[in-house]
Structure 1
Amino acid sequence: MFGKDNPKLEKFFHHNGRWLAGAAILTVIGVGTWQSNLILNREEPVAVRLSEVKRGTVESTINESGVVELRDQRILTSPTEGAVDRVLVQPGNRIKAGQTLITLRYPERETALANQEVKIQQQRRILQRHQQEIVEAKEQIAADEIKLRPLVAGAREGAIAREQVYEQQDKLRETRATLRDAQADARTAALELEAFQLERKRIQQEVRDSIVTAPIDGVVLGVNVKNGDGVEFRTNLLTIGDPTQVLVKLQLSTLNATQVRPNQLARVSVIGPDRQTFTGRIQSLYPQAVGEEEEEQSSGGGSKQSNQSSSSDQPAVPSIVLLDTPTRTLIPGSRVNVEILLQQRQNVIVLPTEIVQRDDDDDSKPFVWVRDSQGNAQKRPVKLGLEGLTNVEVTSGLQIGDRVIQPPSEPSLEPGVPVISDQ
């Protein structure tokens, strides 16, 4: 039945056998192609950099720019108009409280003082004359009283005419009137002398103001005048400050100011290639945002130094950072960067921010790339804590010693893609 004696069956197997053989060949080719593609893909894994998970510190900070000042930094001004006689210090000089820094000339005040001295001397002579008149009047009264007593006794006995007694009594009354006048004149002269002396004291104070002295121990930061310069009332003469304490004045944006509190840690660094960092604390925070003009008024005017950023046309909150230790590196008046520490987590699992990825569809689900036991890239969900500018705290999903993939820019990773370390 199935042998060569059945020609129909032989024809059927001959025709369909060729079709089955072709199908088998195509199947083998397809499987071979898939296997070859798999082999090729396995031969070209993506080179990535692996990072070991470690503990570290995460910080949340804000950055502002500020201007360096010394504590008690102030500008000494001219107490009145005049001319500079001598400048006795120069920038950089150390000074002591009470030390003479600048002497000024006030010719009009010096002339007024000399004229007042003349008036005082004249008034003293007038007072002395009236005092002498008082002495003489008292002596005369005593003499007249002595002379009057025997006349009164003689008149009682009838030995002396009463006219002589009356004449002596009139003379005594005139002398007593002279005494009263002299005493009144002396009181008036004394009052006028006191007024002249008070005026002299006022003029002396004005002349004394011609000597500008240091109100504190410190250092001279700048001198604005030279010998012979004319000055007006409140002309800026020189700037001084206390180098034992260094301040940084800054203008916080209203958004940043809401996060800042007194006594927060601040790091101050020079803006430039030679970066040095100094630590300090927020000393004070102005209770409200102010504009540029208001800030100048609140700082007392005078030494106006611009320490606002490019957005200075917007209201800002003035703040002061006090450095922990004095430094001779920071130059008063120079601009510095101020990094204010808002929050800090120490000894926690930390990753660089660029390693943590987020789904395009759901930003609230962060993950990292890890390499599985077969050497393929896989997503691993993580939970984040404090996020800083350059790193982030991982609260769950990773352990110390785990190795995570630093995602390459090209090609992008996909789950299951083989990866190899380029280290």
Structure 2
Amino acid sequence: MKLRTIVIGAVAVAAIGGAVWVSMQPEIVPVDMAEVTAGPMEVTVNADGTTRVRDVFEVAAPVSGTVGRSPVKVGDTVIKGETVIARIEPGEPAFLDERARKQAEAAVAQAEAALALAKTQITVAEADLNNAQRQLNRAFDLHERGTTSDAALETAETAVDIASAQLDSAHATADMRMSEVAAARAVLTQPGERTLDEEEACCVDIRAPVSGKVLSVTSTSARPVTAGTTLLTIGPTDDLEIVVELLSTDAVRLAAGAPAHIERWGGDTALDAVVREIEPAAFTKVSALGIEEQRVRVVLDFADGVDVPPLGHNFRVYARIVEWSAEDALRLPISALFRDGADWAVFVVRDGTARLTPIDIGQRNSDEAEVLSGLEAGDKVITHPSDRVAQGTLVEARAAGN
């Protein structure tokens, strides 16, 4: 019994001693590591954009009337000066209310009465001319026999001329009265009562002002339009540009000629582009969060030699416009950076120990930062350091999957 007690005691003391020894060993913290490398680096301004036809032509109605059903549809190819893209016919007359109709009917009756009077005046003028002609014939016979004077003959001839002129005047007055009757009757025309033959109806054929494709049609159905109403838009879809709306604070950091990468257009590779213009005026746009922002339109062209895919008007793309770039920059993951007071710092792993190292950085993008001083290529740094890591902490690379 005494020996057994001694053995149990010895085992207990050994266990306690082992536990104390283990607890006194320094902790080794598993961490994620990355290497500081030298290579190309870019800082970009990123935003969604859209493609658009460089020169879009809006075709508007030149006159008021009724535009027929559209002979073209979106996507149709049109040829400048040949393809008829719209046809405008005279509009229907307006409806007459009861008072306007009675006034128009009274005007017709008045015009018909004036026409009847003009026809009566023609009859009177014809009778006067016949009488003047008989008087001239009588005066001529008497003058031949020498029984009347030359003055009497001349008076008879003048009477004939006056009567003839009065007859011409009466005919002209009758024609005028007939036109007045037609005009008065035209006022009574109601919608749907047009009597012109299809060949006689006047219409305006609008032809394509430029070769290209139809981008939009305001309405395919026939409808009344006023002069200046937009009917459709046309543009050459093989001449595209890209428009990106940037915050004004981002746009001021860019310049014309800056390179850009066009992504998320539907293909696997990025397309090269170049900034052509930064518009000089900004506009206010409300964001999805309800915040008013000042935006600036930046226009880009596809770079020379780029095989532009079959994009169309108002297709969505994602643009990364290069603000700064370097071919051989010393860089590290931005996830390794943290603030140590007013300075930037990282934990560098040397001999399995974390070393707090202040550094100076330059340009940054969403993934990497440019190192100006404090590190060298090949240094190992800890990314996403936790509060368990401090100066002198023993660390080891975290096993994959942990």
Shorter chain as denominator, the TM-score bin is 0.5 to 0.7
**Matching of residue 370 in structure 1 with residue 348 in structure 2:** yes
> What's the counterpart of residue 339 of structure 2?
358
Aligned residues: 272
Q: 8 Å contact 1:58–1:386 — kept in the other structure?
A: no
* Largest Rg, 1 or 2: 1
**Pair 1:106-2:89 in alignment:** yes
CA distance in 1, matches of 2:284, 2:34: 48
User: How far apart are the structure 1 equivalents of 2:307 and 2:342?
Assistant: 46
| Structure-2 change in CA distance of 1:101 and 1:280 (3 Å) | farther
Say whether 1:216 aligns with 2:195. no
Cα offsets for 1:198-237 (capped at 9, x unmatched): xxxxxxxxx9992222222322212223253322212221
Hey, which of these two has a bigger chunk of helix by percent?
Answer: 1
Q: CA deviation at 1:86?
A: 5.2
**Cα distance in structure 2, aligned partners of 1:314 and 1:47:** 44
Q: Is the 8 A contact 2:246 2:297 kept in 1?
A: yes
Q: Any conservation in 2 of the 1:53–1:349 contact (CA below 8 Å)?
A: yes
User: 320, 341, 360: which is aligned to 1:383?
Assistant: 360
| Distance of 1:336 and 1:231 partners within structure 2 | 36
| 1:52–1:317 CA distance, 2 compared to 1 (3 A) | closer
Amino acid at match of 1:98: G
| RMSD, aligned CA | 3.3
**Amino acid in structure 2 at the alignment position of 1:236:** T
Cα contact 1:79–1:233 (8 A) shared by 2? yes
- 1:354 Cα shift? 0.7
Aligned-residue offset at 1:288? 2.8
| 1:92 maps onto 2:64 in alignment | no
Q: 2:375 aligns with which of 373, 382, 398?
A: 398
Identify the residue that residue 118 of structure 1 maps to in structure 2. none
Return the match for 1:415 from 382, 391, 394: 391
Q: Kindly state the Cα deviation for residue 291 of structure 1 after the two structures are TM-superposed.
A: 4.9
Match of 1:83 in 2: 66
Matches within 5 A, 1:269-284: 269-270=263-264, 277-284=270-277
Task: Specify whether residues 347 and 96 from structure 1 end up closer, same or farther in structure 2 by C-alpha distance, changes over 3 A only.
Answer: farther
Match of residue 38 from structure 1: 24
Which residue of the partner structure matches residue 280 of structure 2?
A: 287
Q: Partner of 2:254 in structure 1?
A: 260
Q: CA deviation at 1:418?
A: 0.9
2:296 maps to amino acid: V
* Cα separation, 2, equivalents of 1:349 and 1:53: 7
Partners of 1:371 and 1:386 in 2: how far apart? 24
Preserved contact between residue 88 and residue 203 of structure 2 (Cα < 8 Å): no
**Residue 63, structure 1, aligned to residue 49, structure 2:** no
CA deviation map 1:214-261 (0-9, x unaligned): 222322212223253322212221122222222223333222232122
Match of 2:195 in 1: none
Could you tell me how far 1:285 is from its partner in structure 2? 2.0
CA–CA distance in 2 between the matches of 1:312 and 1:329?
36
For residues 193-208 of structure 1, what are the structure 2 equivalents within 5 Å?
none
Q: Structure 2: how far apart are the matches of 1:368 and 1:354?
A: 10
Q: Where does structure 2 lack aligned partners over 5 or more consecutive residues?
A: 1-16, 92-200
**Contact kept? 1:60, 1:388, Cα under 8 Å:** yes
Q: What are the Cα deviations for residues 278-323 of structure 1, in whole angstroms up to 9, with x where unaligned?
A: 332222222233457xxxxxxxxxxxxxxx7547854433332223
Give the TM-score normalised by structure 2: 0.59
Q: How has the CA–CA distance of structure 1 residues 36 and 94 changed in structure 2, closer, same or farther, with 3 Å as cutoff?
A: same
1:277 & 1:52 partners in 2: Cα distance?
27
Counting only pairs closer than 5 Å after superposition, residues 176-191 of structure 1 correspond to structure 2 as none
Percent identity of equivalent pairs:
26
